[in-house]
Amino acid sequence: MTSPPNNGQDTRPGPEPAAITVQNVSLSFDEHQVLEDVSLSVSPGEFVGFVGPNGAGKTTLLRAISGALEPTTGSIEIGGTNVHDVSSRESSRLVAAVPQDTSLSFSFPVRDVVEMGRHPHRSRFSPPTADDRLAVEDALERTRTAELADRPIDEISGGQRQRVVLARAVAQETPVLLLDEPTASLDINHQVETLELVRELVDDGRTVVAAIHDLDLAARYCDRLVMLAGGTLHADGSPSDVLTSETLAEAFRANATITPNPVTGTPTVTALPDRQATDVDAGSGRTDGGDGSTTLTVHVVGTGTTAAGVLARLDVDDLSVSIGPVPGDGIAAEAARNLGVECLEADPFDAPSSTVRSQLEQRVGAADVTVAADVTIGPGAGRRHVLETIEDADPLVVVHRRSAHERIVGDDRSEQRRKRYESCRGRAHEATVESTLEAVRAALERRQESDGVDRRVDPDSEAGE
């Protein structure tokens, strides 16, 4: 097929926005229940992400909404029309679907593939109309695939093919668009590009529902998330309401912490090892004297994403963690609030108050282990006090992500401060963010060994008194 002349912008009105209503939907395959009593609604022009573990029913629910699968019980309406009460051609004018598997078994040119999206709008053997040609060209332009239009579909990359299949759905000009794992096989650049395009369609009035495996991307681009687990609706709301440690533990059986992305501000999920598998839980330490349980205390000094990551790694049973001083509006303080960690808030650039100084000294002095997380060493009363406190900390774990050049702020005393910090580092356990928990355990074991030596000596000293 030859490319039609495009003498101007496509000024045709887009599809009328439509809502999706899923009412008490259950669906079974033989004896296997896949969906159970699922009810939800999607407003016109809303981008909703389906999230949940494998086998939760996300793809099945998408296929039911598209009309490809009929529920055992319940109903699904798009714009007030029950998609299972109309012909496949009519339902294809209401909803377009982009499957997870975009492989095609034929070698048609890309433009022909995109034009297939126009089939619901014309009779079987009729030639394409002017509207069809405009819709195809618009879809090629919007998905940035126009330069591929004359190439065979089986000679382009997987990422390009994903965009072509999306272009076919765009050309279908339906009020509702469904996508099943649209970023699963794409590199990070094409993932963002694809979801940016979907976001543009939503901004133009399309209603979009997508099953998205990447929780961070889902939180970044979706207006709302619906979490499925075991074929049931587990949570429904804004990304920050749905992506919580509690819901992830229940739905995914995952130990995870949620912190805001420092650039986008959207929730970021960090999955951690199972708490029950951690070695610290089995370690010995100070007991509270009540039920005999062990309480090990760790104080974290540092700010930013490194300190936030350290807090997430230390979110295990039998560790009592605190952090500070940190600015109250920073990511470390936000992570502390999300994790229920005690937080000493203060601006690190300002001179610390006597209360802050006293609390920091008390917490470090009482801690079984102190963790210095990418601490910035430089001028300013707050930073000087932090360095002094680290010098007194024992045992000490040091975690670095930045180079010394980035961490040590220069002035005429920077070399002296660097030597003081390197002295601390020389006696410390060094760790990455990912190995913080293991380093804390090693520091605790060393401290316990030292305490054991002290206890063997102390009785003789006391007897002499």
Distances (CA, A) of 224 to 39, 43, 210, 227, 260: 15, 10, 11, 10, 16
Three-state secondary structure call for residue 210: strand
Helix (H) or strand (E) holding 178: strand 176-180
Q: How far is CA 296 from CA 127, 396, 443, in A?
A: 76, 14, 12
Q: Give φ, ψ of 172 to 5 degrees.
A: -65, -20
The CA angle 137-139-145, to the nearest 5 degrees, is: 85
Mean pLDDT of 29-47: 95
**pLDDT tens per residue, range 126-145:** 888 899 999 999 999 999 99
Any idea which architecture 20-270 has in CATH?
Answer: 3-Layer(aba) Sandwich (3.40)
pLDDT digit string, tens, across residues 358-394: 899 999 999 999 999 988 876 666 677 788 888 888 9
Which residues 6+ apart lie within 8 Å of 194 measured at CB?
A: 162, 163, 166, 182, 183, 186
Share of the chain above pLDDT 90, in %: 51
Q: What stretch(es) of the chain map to CATH 3.40.50.300?
A: 20-270
First to last CA, the chain: 103
Q: In the 3-class helix/strand/coil scheme, how is 288-350 assigned residue by residue?
A: CCCCCCECEEEEEEECHHHHHHHHHHCCCCCEEEEEEEECCCCHHHHHHHHHCCEEEECCCCC
Quick check: 265 pLDDT over 60? yes
pLDDT at 252: 93
Strands 342-345 vs 207-211: parallel, antiparallel or unpaired: unpaired
| 275-449 classified as CATH 3.40.50 | yes
- Selected residue with higher pLDDT from 187 and 85: 85
